[in-house]
Structure 1
Amino acid sequence: MLLDEHNSKLLFETATIPVPKGTTVFPGEEDDFAPGYPLPWFLKAQVLSGGRGKSGGILRIDDPAEFPAKARKLFGREIKGESVPFIRVEPGEDITHEFYLSLTVSRERRCILLTAGRQGGVEVEKLGADNLLVQEIGLPGGPAPHQVRAAFFHLGLDKDRFKDFAGLLDALFRCLLDNGLLMAEINPLILTPDGRLVALDGKVEMDDNFVDLHPEAEAYYQREHAAPEENLARDAGLSFVRLPGWVGLMVNGAGLAMATMDLLNFSGLPASNFLDLGGAADQKRMETALELLFGDTQVKAIFINLFGGILSCEKVALAMQGALGGKSPEKPIVVRMSGKDAEAGLKILRELNADNLHMAGDMQAAIAILDTIRPPQTEAVDYPAPLDLPLGPRPAPTGWQSETIFAVDADTPILVQGITGREGQLHTRLMQEYGANVVAGVTPFKGGQEILGVPVYNSIAEARRAHDIGASIIFVPPRMAADAVAEAASNEIPWTVCITEGITQHEMLAAFGRAKGSPTRIVGPNTPGIIVPGRTKIGIMPTMPFMPGPVAVLSRSGTLTYEVADRLTRAGIGQSICVGIGGDPFIGVDFVDMFEMIRNHDQTRAVIVLGEIGGQAEENLAEYVVRTGFDKPVISFIAGQTAPAGKRLGHAGAILEAGGGIQAKLETMGKAGFAVCPSLEAVAETTARALE
Structure 2
Amino acid sequence: MLLNEHMSKALFNKAGIPVPQGLSVFPGSEETVVPDFALPWILKAQALTGGRGKAGGVLRVDDAHDFAPTARRIFGLNIQGHSVPFIRVEPAVIIDRECYLSLSVSRSRGCILLTVGREGGVEIESGGRANLLVQEIHLPAGLAANQIRAAFFHLGLDKALFGDFSALLATFFKAMLDNGLLLAEINPLVLTGDNRFLALDGKVEVDDNFAELNPAMETYYQPEHASHEENVARAAGLSYVKLDGWVGLMVNGAGLAMATMDLLNFSRLPARNFLDLGGAADHTRMRTALELLFGDARVRAVFINMYGGILSCRNVALALREALGDREPDKPIVARMSGNDAAGGIEVLRAMGCDTVHIASDMQAAIRILETLKPQDAPVIEFPAPQTALPEARPQPTGHVSTASLGIDRDTPILVQGITGREGQLHTRLMQAYGANVVAGVTPFKGGQEILGVPVYNSVAQAMRHHKIGASIIFVPPRMAADAVLEAACNEIPWTICITEGIAQHEMLAVFEQIKSSPTQVVGPNTPGVIVPGQTKIGIMPTDPFMPGPVAILSRSGTLTYEVSARLTASNIGQSVCVGIGGDPFIGVKYADVFEMLRNHEATRAVVVLGEIGGQAEENLAEYVVRTGFDKPVVSFIAGRTAPPGKRLGHAGAILEKGGGVGRKIETMRRAGFTVCSSLEEVANETSCILK
TM-score (norm 2): 0.99
SS of the equivalent of 2:6 reads helix
Equivalent residues of 1:4, 1:203 under 8 A apart: yes
Q: Distance in 1 between matches of 2:217 and 2:510?
A: 22
Q: What residue identity is the alignment partner of 1:140?
A: P
**Correspondences of 1:237-636 after superposition (within 5 Å):** 237-636=237-636
Q: Distance in 2 between matches of 1:78 and 1:289?
A: 29
Deviations 1:258-282 (A, max 9, x none): 0000000000000010000000101
SS of the equivalent of 2:563 reads helix
Counterpart residue number, 1:206: 206
Counterpart residue number, 2:638: 638
Deviation at 1:686, TM superposition (A): 0.5
Counterpart residue number, 2:5: 5
Deviation at 1:181, TM superposition (A): 0.3
Runs of 4+ in structure 1 deviating by more than 3 angstroms, as ranges, are: none
Equivalent residues of 2:393, 2:671 under 8 A apart: no
**Correspondences of 1:123-138 after superposition (within 5 Å):** 123-138=123-138
Equivalent residues of 2:189, 2:198 under 8 A apart: yes
Equivalent residues of 1:392, 1:675 under 8 A apart: no
Equivalent residues of 1:329, 1:355 under 8 A apart: no
Q: Distance in 2 between matches of 1:486 and 1:251?
A: 34
Deviation at 1:392, TM superposition (A): 4.5
Deviation at 1:390, TM superposition (A): 2.6
Q: What residue identity is the alignment partner of 2:50?
A: G
Counterpart residue number, 1:678: 678
Range that drifts further, 476-485 or 28-37 = 28-37
Deviation at 1:391, TM superposition (A): 4.6
Deviation at 1:304, TM superposition (A): 0.4
Equivalent residues of 2:390, 2:674 under 8 A apart: yes
Deviations 1:452-472 (A, max 9, x none): 011111101111111111100
Q: Distance in 2 between matches of 1:201 and 1:398?
A: 52
SS of the equivalent of 1:560 reads helix
TM-score (norm 1): 0.99
SS of the equivalent of 1:584 reads coil
Q: What residue identity is the alignment partner of 1:361?
A: S
Q: Distance in 2 between matches of 1:16 and 1:70?
A: 31
SS of the equivalent of 2:68 reads helix
Q: Distance in 2 between matches of 1:7 and 1:441?
A: 45
Aligned residues: 692
Deviation at 1:355, TM superposition (A): 2.2
Deviation at 1:516, TM superposition (A): 1.2
Equivalent residues of 1:391, 1:634 under 8 A apart: no
Counterpart residue number, 2:150: 150
Deviations 1:79-127 (A, max 9, x none): 1111111110000000001000000000000000000000000131121
SS of the equivalent of 1:175 reads helix
Q: Distance in 1 between matches of 2:317 and 2:51?
A: 47
Q: What residue identity is the alignment partner of 1:525?
A: P
Deviation at 1:385, TM superposition (A): 1.7
Deviation at 1:393, TM superposition (A): 2.8
Q: Distance in 1 between matches of 2:686 and 2:530?
A: 24
Cα root mean square deviation, aligned: 0.7
Q: Distance in 2 between matches of 1:485 and 1:342?
A: 35
Deviation at 1:288, TM superposition (A): 0.3
SS of the equivalent of 1:387 reads coil
Q: What residue identity is the alignment partner of 1:589?
A: V
Q: Distance in 2 between matches of 1:265 and 1:467?
A: 52
SS of the equivalent of 1:638 reads strand
Q: Distance in 2 between matches of 1:599 and 1:74?
A: 61
- Which structure 1 segments of 5+ residues have no match? none
Deviation at 1:338, TM superposition (A): 0.7
Q: Distance in 2 between matches of 1:96 and 1:633?
A: 62
Q: Distance in 2 between matches of 1:87 and 1:226?
A: 16
Q: Distance in 2 between matches of 1:109 and 1:435?
A: 39
Q: What residue identity is the alignment partner of 1:451?
A: I
Deviations 1:420-450 (A, max 9, x none): 0000000001001101011110111111111
Q: Distance in 1 between matches of 2:66 and 2:35?
A: 14
Q: Distance in 2 between matches of 1:163 and 1:484?
A: 39
Deviation at 1:660, TM superposition (A): 3.8
Q: Distance in 2 between matches of 1:531 and 1:29?
A: 61
Q: What residue identity is the alignment partner of 2:347?
A: K
SS of the equivalent of 1:537 reads strand
Q: Distance in 2 between matches of 1:461 and 1:153?
A: 47
SS of the equivalent of 1:351 reads helix
SS of the equivalent of 1:30 reads coil
Counterpart residue number, 2:41: 41
SS of the equivalent of 2:211 reads helix
- Identity of matched residues, %: 70
Deviation at 1:128, TM superposition (A): 1.5
SS of the equivalent of 1:576 reads strand
Q: Distance in 2 between matches of 1:420 and 1:392?
A: 52
Q: Distance in 2 between matches of 1:444 and 1:160?
A: 52
Counterpart residue number, 1:29: 29
SS of the equivalent of 2:293 reads helix
Equivalent residues of 1:391, 1:635 under 8 A apart: no
